Each structure stands twice: as C-alpha cells, then as structure tokens.
Chains A and B, each alone.
Chain A
Amino acid sequence: MKTNDIILQTVTKVTLFIIILFSIHLFFAGHYYPGGGFVGGLMTSGAIVLLLLAFDMKTVANILPIDYKYMIATGLLFAVGTGAGALLFNAPFLTHAFKDVYLPLLGKTSLHTAVLFDTGVFLVVVGVTMTIIQTIGEDE
C-alpha cells in the first residue's frame, strides 16, 4: 500500500529552513552566547535527518550530493590548518588572532581565527553524524 504523507512533506519544507537558520545562528553566536560548532553541527544534521524522514535516501542524495566522509576530512583539515597557520607567524601551535575589519556591508566586524577552527568542528560533527545515520539507515 502506498501511503500519502503530504502533510509531513509540506511541514518539513517549511520547518527545514527555520532549523537550518537556527543552527547557523547557534554556530555564529558561539563566541559570545551559548552555542558553537558542536551544537550547530548537530542541529544541521538534525535538519538533514528530518529531510531523510520525510523523503527517502535517494531523493536526499539528489538534493545534497555530498560525500560526508570527505566532509569529515575537510573539517579536520580546517582545524589542523588553523593550528598550523600560527606556525607561519612564529607563534606556538594553535595560537589564535583577531582583528577588527571594516567590511563594506557589515560595518565594523571582529574576525577571529577561532571561527575557522569552529568551522572544522562543525563540518566534522555534521559528517560523523550523517555517516553514522546513513550507514545504519540503509535497509538492505
């Protein structure tokens, strides 16, 4: 019997963007407020899990053609790269720096290299969670 779950799919299409916006907010607010790369990554993978629940694995692979194992590698590269970048400026490993920059649209913004490290954490968390869920979820 083919079931019709149009309510779930429509609610997912609306809710997905709210969840992803919330995860981005958690990620960028992590320096001054509760949040950060870990919980932001978990929330993003929660949004992708909701997409997997409402649709099927093949459709989601078409929407997001990402190999999550490469995502883990990219995240680790970000984390190690920000650590090793300090060595170029004759500073100890994992020394972070920040600078107030005047961006054209955003005005005065303080850019910190810890954000790049947090991006690595974000990518690793999303990659690991989605790899685990997709590997277990395949019903052969």
Chain B
Amino acid sequence: MLEVIVQISLLCISIAMVGLIYRVIKGPTIPDRIVALDAIGINLVAVIALVSILLKTNAFLEIILLIGILAFIGTVAFSKYLEKGVIIERDRDH
C-alpha cells in the first residue's frame, strides 16, 4: 500500500520536474531559468526522500541536506552575478 502511494508521488514529482524543465528551456528571461533550476533542486530532494522510503534505507538522508545547501549557494551565486556582474568582490567599500 505504502509503495503504491510512494510511486504515485514519484510520478507527480516527475511531472512537476518536466514542467520545470520546460520553464528552464523556454523561460524568456534568465531569472525564470534560475528559479526553475532552484525548484528542480528542491524536487530532487523530494525524489531522494521518496526513493529512500522505497529502498528502506536511511543512507541517503545526508544527500537531502547536501542538495538543499548546494541549491541555496548556487542560486545566491547566480543572483549575485545578475545583480552586480561579479560573484566575488575584492572590496565592498567603493
């Protein structure tokens, strides 16, 4: 019973990811693509959680936190590039 529910949820998340990939390809502006990539990362977290339920293991729980942190740092880096043109500044006071 639980497995069927998990498989249905996996199907729903894959459909959501296909929609996000459409937005990444089609998105008229760069921020659209960045937000879609961030949401794909979060959906990936959900996929890993569901797969670890299916495989009955808790070996993947670190990866969930890892992907969350990496998606955050990546999105911040992209946004800073769009905002200021540089990712790492030498000196802020000028």
**A residues at B contact (CB < 8 Å):** 3, 8, 15, 19, 22, 26, 33-35, 39, 43, 46, 49-50, 52-59, 133-134, 137-139
Contact = CB atoms under 8 A, between A and B. Distances in A.
Contacts of A54: 76
A57 B76 contact: no
Contacts of A8: 76
Given A3-B84, A43-B66, 13 more contacts: A15-B72, A34-B62, A39-B66, A43-B69, A50-B73, A52-B88, A56-B88, A56-B89, A56-B92, A57-B88, A59-B92, A133-B88, A134-B88
B69 A46 contact: yes
Contacts of A56: 88-92
Nearest to A46: B73
Contacts of A35: 62
A53 B84 contact: no
A53 B70 contact: no
**Does more than half of chain B's interface fall in helix, strand or loop, or is it mixed?**
helix
Nearest to B62: A34
A137 B80 CA distance: 13
B46 to A, nearest CB: 19
Contact of B73 (A3, A49, A55): A49
30 contacts: A3-B83, A22-B65, A33-B59, A33-B62, A34-B60, A34-B62, A34-B63, A35-B62, A43-B66, A43-B69, A46-B69, A46-B73, A49-B77, A53-B76, A53-B87, A53-B88, A56-B88, A56-B89, A56-B90, A56-B92, A57-B88, A57-B91, A58-B90, A58-B92, A59-B92, A137-B87, A138-B88, A138-B90, A139-B86, A139-B88
A11 to B, nearest CB: 9
B7 to A, nearest CB: 25
A58 B91 contact: yes
A14 B41 CA distance: 21
